[in-house]
Amino acid sequence: MTEQIYYHFVQANKHLGYDRSEQEVYPGLTLKTEKPIALCDYGFHASQRPLDALKNAPSNTGWLCGVTLGADVIHGNDKAVSSERTVVWMLKVDKLLIEFACWCAEQAFDVVRTMGVEPDPRSIEAVRITRLWLVDQATDAERAAARAAAREAAWDAAGEAARDAAREAAGDAAREAAWDAARDAAWAAAWEAAGDAARDAAWDAARDAARAAQNDHLTALIRSALAESEEAA
């Protein structure tokens, strides 16, 4: 029986955070503790969904680890903690997360359009330039200019979810960009799906549906990148 793979993000320098900041992570590394574990307090954390792991990732994230959990394991809503964690594989994800942020921003654009509002062209352009930058068809200067324009657009009436998602998708911190864009796209979907009388009741269902779609897309990006890395090896 194949062990379940959990997801865990680490810093761009491949090091862990907090009291293990000097620990470099690599495939095959197993970390153990004899101390009592507790969610959000002590132990080795990971998530069953990459989107949940992203929410708990360090701001300077650069790598995603596929890990297994052993010995004692406690499961929470969006994460688990264990007394033993083994790294199965590692994937460099700085550009992958920016690509995911762009996708989330585009989802927010589509939702805003269903509200009868056209997203600001500067926000759309920021995402377009960022996508070109991802494939080395735009310079850092062009990306910086598009990012500045998107930030200006954030003060205009283009629709809050689209403005924020585009701004974050064009930003510098991949983890924060991806998470904020995903959050705003989910918010927009929920707001549109809920009617005036049932807005509060529909919020959770619409948000969860948007989150599920985001997790599916992020998972697909990760699987594709892993397949490419295996072929390259």
pTM for the model:
0.76
Residues 93 and 65 sit within 8 Å (Cβ to Cβ): no
Section 161-166 average pLDDT = 52
Type of residue found at 216: D
- Report the distance separating Cα 54 and Cα 47, nearest Å: 9
CB atoms within 10 A of CB 203: 16
* Whether the predicted pLDDT of 182 surpasses 70: no
Residues 9 and 57 sit within 8 Å (Cβ to Cβ): yes
Q: Which residue has the tokens 């993000």?
A: 9
Bigger pLDDT: 178 vs 173: 178
- Each residue of 12-57: pLDDT tens digit? 899 887 666 678 899 999 999 888 989 888 889 999 999 899 888 8
Burial grade of 175 (CB within 10 A; 0-12, 13-18, 19 or more) = buried
Residue ranges of domains in the chain: 6-92, 95-227
Q: What's residue 158's pLDDT?
A: 40
- Report the distance separating Cα 108 and Cα 200, nearest Å: 20
Q: Which runs of consecutive H residues, i.e. helices, occur in 94-198?
A: 94-114, 121-134, 140-153, 160-169, 174-193
- Report the distance separating Cα 165 and Cα 218, nearest Å: 16
Q: What's residue 164's pLDDT?
A: 55
Measured at the CA of 162, the angle between CA 160 and CA 166, to 5 degrees, comes to 120
Element (H, E) at 61: strand 61-75
* CA 158 distance to own-chain centroid: 24
3-class DSSP assignment, residue 60: coil
